[in-house]
Chain A
Amino acid sequence: MLDIVISGLLLSGTYALVALGLNLQYGVSRIMNLANGEMLVLGALAAFWMFTVGKLNPYLTMVLAAPLAFVGNWLIYRFLLRPLVSRSKNQGQLEVDSILATFGMSFILIGIMISIEGGFFAYKYLSIPIEILGTKASLSRIVAFAVACCIGLALYLWLNRSRTGMAVRAVAVSPQSALLVGINVPKISALAFALGGAITAVGGVLISTFITLDASIGVIFTMKALIIVIMGGVGDTRGVIIAAVILGLVETTVATLIDPGLTLAAAYLIFLAILLFRPQGLFGRKPT
């Protein structure tokens, strides 16, 4: 039983890393970023490449990748997505446009990654077994979980305690009203998008230490992230974390007690239930 809880929580950490970035991008910047998974895989590729070529510790790569991803995503938002935001008359149109634009972007990213490494990013780091309360887990998973906790906590505190964080939340609630109280919405949106991209890339670096990825696998992560963000309530960090924990625990429970073949079915069942009974997500506000 304790086994399931610990394994489940560790898996939740992975899921949180996958979804926290998309939550900022979709919840605040209103960009339904379908290239989210590719950004994650790009982080993984960076870690793999630095490790095999430069023998660099992936956690060091993580520290280097975060600011790079931040700047890269800021540029993407500024030059690729900002024009879409400016020209769209309503949220619906922006969603359609951003889905198409980022879908295209995902192919470009895949192409770039394949030109660097077409095969598997196969390397392992810290795959040392550690025993916690009688359950064995690899140290790399535990580190990823710890970093996920730190990111989640830092994000939560920043959003709720700082002035900029409050502005970000205001934009998440209503970009129009945020403008009225003097918030620089374009700037905050760019910040949220860039931060989201940086978190996703960091997630990719961490995940690559224990999951073998390849350039084309991003879409799997985009889908998982989407489910988690929608389950948690778009734009709400607490929601994402809780949804990740639920998903991790349920999948591990089903895999252990019933059949590993049913994990996907279980995940989609919960997703369906939430969509049916609480369409705005666990922490989402009802549209007024």
Chain B
Amino acid sequence: MLRRDLLALATGALALATAVSVSAQTPIKIGSVAPKTGALAGGAVVTQWPNVELWAAQVNERGGLNVGGEMRPVEVIEYDDKTNPGEHIKLAQRLATQDKVDFVVAPYGTGFNIAAAPVYGKFGYPMIAVSAITDKVEELTGRYDNLFFTLGTTTAFVTGVRDILVEQREAGNINNRVAMVNVADAFGIELADVARTLFTDAGFELVYDKSYPLGTPDLSPVMKGAKASNPTSFIAWSYPPDSFGLAQQAIIEDLDVSIYYSAVATSFPAFAGAYGSKINNVLGAGGTNVDDPKIAEYRAAHEAVTGKVADYWASANTYASLQILEQAIEGADTTDRAVVTQYIKENAFDTVMGTITFEDNFSAKFWSVGQWQDGVFRGVKGTNVDGAVDVRLKDGWD
């Protein structure tokens, strides 16, 4: 008897609980799959994850997204893809079929965005890719109608560096001798290939042009070789662990160049954290305009909410991509993914990066090269961005 009563009570309580949760606004579910472990985790926890956290916190603080006349909070469902594309695709399917999320945050990494585009496309999710740089934008967006690119192309990325080299040569600050190294994986090889053509076409001589495997524990032979080639410019198409390692060796070897550039992770606050003033005037991929009040406000909120300093490149773009999603959902006034995708294509969005519009799913508004100048990584070259500062010459490593 008692047992039956208890059961009835429990059922009643459960029914009540369900009723309560239904009466509150049903959240809009946002799925986010990106690395928390594996080779790309170090980058994703700086650029990707904190922005998802910040955006969700800010949206919910405002009461949620205004859809169909009611304020619906966002609920983020996070999965770690372990830097494994196969794992990512499995999790993407899970998001769509089991968690039934309404929208997704685009993956972290070029390869992951390309690999996952068909799966997300199958379920109609718009993907506003940020950490994805390729020259195949046209081909890919032609194939996947739901895929958007916001951080530029490989050629734009390299062109920024070439323009700096050309300007500095014209100013008489450097000669034609360029030492170039790259990490031997898809990203580094693609950039080095493009750079080889662009640099030689501009009349530069690649006096040192070598690759090294990802995760090389000792980069001193690379730096010694580059130094021995007697360059005035040093360009590295590098990834996070080696961007740090190359700077370390450049300091040790006292590499005497006027232009020093390393690609990914140069814009991370940890880079300056590790080397302090020694890396003053080092150039790197990315850049931002910290003097822009919108960016300044965003950076302050980033630090307040996540406890981390935003990086000086794709962090702002990642946050902007979430703002685009937010404004598209509210603007289209529906969670119908096809309608929202169409809305993204046709409208302009007011973001921390300024007004963003898409032409053939591509937003041509991004920084490509930045430079550490007295503790801040400022944008020096970009496309359709304001606030680029003049390039300074590297003068020693003290």
Contacts and interface: CB of A to CB of B under 8 A. Distances in A.
Given A255-B222, A260-B210, A220 B215 contact: yes
Nearest to A113: B37
A137 B253 CA distance: 8
B37 A110 contact: yes
A129 B252 contact: yes
A9 to B, nearest CB: 11
Given A7-B221, A120-B270, A211-B241, A216 B37 contact: yes
Given A114-B36, A217-B241, A259 B217 contact: no
Contact of B46 (A119, A124, A129, A136): A119
A217 B41 CA distance: 10
Contacts of B37: 110, 114, 215-216
Interface stretch (B22-30, B140-148, B271-279, B372-380): B271-279
Contacts of B184: 261
Interface string B232-265: 0000000011001100100111100000000001
Interface string B197-235: 000000000000011110111111110110000000000
Nearest to A125: B274
B86 interface: no
B254 A210 contact: no
Contact of A212 (B41, B211, B222, B245): B245
Contacts of B265: 120
Contacts of A251: 218
Contacts of B45: 114, 118-119
Interface-central residue, A11, A213, A260, by most chain B CB under 10 Å: A260
B63 interface: no
B213 A214 contact: no
Interface in A9-41: 10-11, 14
B212 A127 contact: no
B244 A122 contact: yes
Contacts of A213: 241
Interface of A: 3-4, 7, 10-11, 14, 110, 114, 118-120, 122-124, 127, 129, 136-138, 210-217, 220, 224, 251-252, 255-256, 259-261, 263-264
Nearest to A6: B220
A259 to B, nearest CB: 6
3 interchain residue pairs of minimum CB distance: A255-B221, A118-B45, A212-B244
24 contacts: A4-B221, A11-B217, A110-B37, A114-B36, A114-B37, A119-B46, A123-B273, A124-B274, A129-B254, A210-B248, A211-B217, A212-B274, A214-B241, A215-B37, A216-B38, A251-B218, A255-B221, A255-B225, A260-B212, A260-B213, A260-B221, A260-B225, A261-B212, A261-B213
Contact of A216 (B49, B83, B181, B216): B83
Contacts of A127: 248, 251-252
Interface residues of B, number: 43
Contact of B212 (A4, A224, A263): A263
A260 B211 contact: yes
A210 B224 CA distance: 17
Interface in B23-60: 36-39, 41-42, 45-46, 49
Interface in B289-321: 308
Given A260-B221, A261-B212, A263-B212, A122 B274 contact: yes
Nearest to B210: A260
B220 A137 contact: yes
Interface of B: 36-39, 41-42, 45-46, 49, 83, 181, 184, 210-213, 215-222, 224-225, 240-241, 244-245, 248, 251-254, 265, 268, 270-271, 273-275, 308
A267 to B, nearest CB: 10
A255 B46 CA distance: 32
Contacts, number: 120
B238 to A, nearest CB: 12
Contacts of A255: 212, 218, 221-222, 225
A252 B241 contact: no
Contacts of A11: 217-218
A14 B220 CA distance: 13
Given A256-B225, A261-B184, A123 B274 contact: yes
A122 B269 CA distance: 10
B253 A263 contact: no
Contact of B221 (A119, A217, A256): A256
Nearest to B42: A214
B241 A212 contact: yes
B251 A216 contact: no
Contact of B217 (A14, A119, A123): A14
B252 A136 contact: yes
A220 B271 CA distance: 22
Nearest to A212: B244
B271 A261 contact: no
Nearest to A267: B213
B78 to A, nearest CB: 13
A138 B252 contact: yes
A119 B308 CA distance: 10
A122 B252 contact: no
A256 B224 contact: yes
A222 to B, nearest CB: 12
A118 B42 CA distance: 6
Contacts of A256: 221, 224-225
A259 B210 contact: yes
Given A118-B42, A120-B268, A256-B221, 17 more contacts: A119-B45, A119-B308, A122-B268, A129-B251, A129-B252, A136-B252, A138-B248, A214-B240, A214-B241, A215-B37, A215-B41, A216-B41, A220-B215, A224-B217, A256-B224, A259-B210, A261-B210
